[in-house]
Amino acid sequence: MTRKKHTDHTRNYRKNVTHSKAETSFQVVVEQTDLFIIAERDLSAEAAAIIHEVRSVIKAHILINPLFGTSLTPVKVHDGADPVILAMAETSALCGVGPMATVAGAVAQEVAIRLAPLSENIIVENGGDIYMNSTTPRTVALLSDPDSGSKIALKIDTEEFPVAICSSSGTIGHSLSLGNGDLVTVRSKDARLADAAATALANHLKSPADVPLVIEKARILSEQLTKSGTKYGLDGVFVQYDSKIGAWGAIELIAL
């Protein structure tokens, strides 16, 4: 079944973002990377420098290891590779997807962590993938249908930060998804893992009947991560296909 594909080049969903009077928001664009950042002051120059560096690391690795940029399955990398590359390779392997399935989360997390000494409150959004640290509770809207807007959101309490919230969709955006569901959103402490897991789980969402299947796969993946002793963990998942939704783990939903 062919479903409507939403591709918002202007990222109009960002117009609905609000923050405290003590914070500011700004956009930073470097080539294909387009970040929306909330911080205690304008850190555009600092963010741009970090993006340039991270992009250079990734592009340089792809030159010597082309499969890293094209494979839809895990790719091995040398132990001496840059930490960004190692984390992308490890988290994608844990979820059975290609390394570039983690790239949006990887950039968001790297920028947020490196800006944290300059702003205790920092939120970095990269095409719907978010890494944030906050001293106050936050609400993250879930956009499953750009035409009708967000109706529900995740509530994140202060003691739960830092948090990564990453999403994959078969109907929104330009990223490749083998499924055609509206939304799979993953919560984790690590944005690389959340991004990879969202992609892997969304690949299985091809009809409303698949919502329970995706939830079960999320539960199994979480158990596998725990048993493997990896430092990465899956905290919660939200799934939507049309009017059918499912949730597992640390997902507190509120109406908007």
Among 154, 126, 111, residue whose Cα is nearest residue 33 = 126
pLDDT tens sequence for the chain (256 residues): 444 554 555 578 787 888 999 999 999 999 999 999 999 999 999 999 999 999 999 999 999 999 999 999 999 999 999 999 999 999 999 999 999 999 999 999 999 999 999 999 999 999 889 999 999 999 999 976 655 566 899 999 999 999 999 999 877 555 555 656 789 999 999 999 999 999 999 999 999 999 999 999 999 999 999 998 899 999 999 999 988 999 999 999 999 8
Residue 92's pLDDT is what? 98
Domains present along the chain, CATH in parentheses = 12-255 (3.10.520.10)
CA angle centred on 101, ends 86 and 83, rounded to 5°: 15
Contact yes or no for 150/142 (Cβ under 8 A): yes
For residues 69 and 76, give the distance between their C-alpha atoms in angstroms, rounded to a whole number: 12
- Sheet of 138-142, strand order: 138-142, 152-156, 253-255
